[in-house]
A and B are shown apart, each in its own frame.
Chain A
Amino acid sequence: MSQVPADLKYTASHEWIRTLADGTLEIGITDHAQHSLGDLVFVEVPQAGRQVKAGESCAVVESVKAASDVYAPFAGEVIAGNPALADAPETVNSDCYGAGWLYRMRVAAEALAAAGLLSAAQYQKVQDAEGG
Chain B
Amino acid sequence: MSHTEKVIFEYSRDGRGAHDQWPADTDPAALADLPAGLRRRELPQLPQVSELEAVRHFTRLSQLNFSIDTHFYPLGSCTMKYNPRACNQYAMLPQFLARHPLAPEASGQGFLACLFELQEMLKEVTGMRGVALSPMAGAQGEFAGVAMIRAYHRARGDGERNEIIVPEAAHGTNPATATMCGCVVREIPVDAAGDVDLAALQAVVGPRTAGIMLTNPSTLGVFERRIAEVARIVHEAGGLLYYDGANLNAILGKVRPGDMGFDVIHMNLHKTFSTPHGGGGPGAGAVGVGARLLPFMPIPVVGREEGGYRWLTERDLPQSIGRLSAFMGNAGVLLRAYIYMRLLGRDGMRQVGEFATLNANYLLRRLAAAGFDAAYPQRRASHEFILTLRRQARELNVTAMDFAKRLLDYGFHAPTTYFPLLVPECLLIEPTETESRETLDAFVSALSQILAEAQNEPERVRSAPHTMPVRRLDDVRAARQLDLAWKPSAQQES
Contact = CB atoms under 8 A, between A and B. Distances in A.
A130 B388 CA distance: 13
A125 interface: no
Nearest to A88: B480
A66 B421 contact: yes
A65 B418 contact: yes
A64 B476 contact: yes
B479 interface: yes
A88 to B, nearest CB: 9
Contact of B476 (A41, A66, A68): A41
A131 B424 contact: yes
A36 interface: yes
Contacts, number: 20
B475 interface: yes
Given A66-B418, A131-B390, A36 B424 contact: yes
Nearest to A66: B421
A44 interface: no
Nearest to A36: B424
A39 interface: yes
Size bin of chain B's contact surface: under 10
A64 B424 contact: no
A42 B479 CA distance: 9
Nearest to A130: B424
A41 B390 CA distance: 24
A36 B425 CA distance: 9
Contacts of A89: 480
Interface string B463-483: 000000000000110011000
A81 to B, nearest CB: 19
A90 B475 CA distance: 14
Task: Count chain A CB atoms within 10 A of each CB in B390, B421, B476 and give the residue with the most.
Answer: B476
Nearest to B476: A39
B424 A41 contact: no
A131 B390 CA distance: 8
Contacts of B479: 41-42, 64
Contacts of B424: 36, 130-131
Interface in A62-100: 64-66, 68, 89-90
Residue of A64, A66, A89 with highest tally of chain B CB at under 10 A: A64
A36 B421 CA distance: 10
B414 to A, nearest CB: 14
A131 B103 CA distance: 62
B436 to A, nearest CB: 33
Contacts of B476: 38-39, 41, 64
Interface string B334-358: 0000000000000000000000000
A102 to B, nearest CB: 18
B447 to A, nearest CB: 21
Most buried by A among B390, B475, B480: B480
A104 to B, nearest CB: 25
Contacts of A36: 424
Contacts of A90: 480
A68 B175 CA distance: 12
Nearest to A62: B479
Interface string A29-64: 000000010110110000000000000000000001
A55 B479 CA distance: 29
Nearest to B185: A57
Contacts of B480: 41, 89-90
Contacts of A64: 475-476, 479
Nearest to A42: B479
Contacts of B475: 64
A25 B180 CA distance: 32
A51 B479 CA distance: 31
Interface in B197-220: none
Contacts of B390: 131
A89 B479 CA distance: 11
A64 B418 CA distance: 11
B330 to A, nearest CB: 28
Nearest to A40: B476
A36 B418 CA distance: 10
Nearest to B479: A41
Contacts of A68: 421
Interface string B3-46: 00000000000000000000000000000000000000000000
5 contacts: A41-B480, A65-B418, A65-B421, A66-B418, A90-B480
Top 5 closest pairs, chain A to chain B, by CB = A41-B479, A39-B476, A64-B475, A65-B418, A41-B480
Interface of B: 390, 418, 421, 424, 475-476, 479-480
Given A65-B418, A89-B480, 16 more contacts: A36-B424, A39-B476, A41-B479, A41-B480, A42-B479, A64-B475, A64-B476, A64-B479, A65-B421, A66-B418, A66-B421, A68-B421, A90-B480, A130-B424, A131-B390, A131-B424
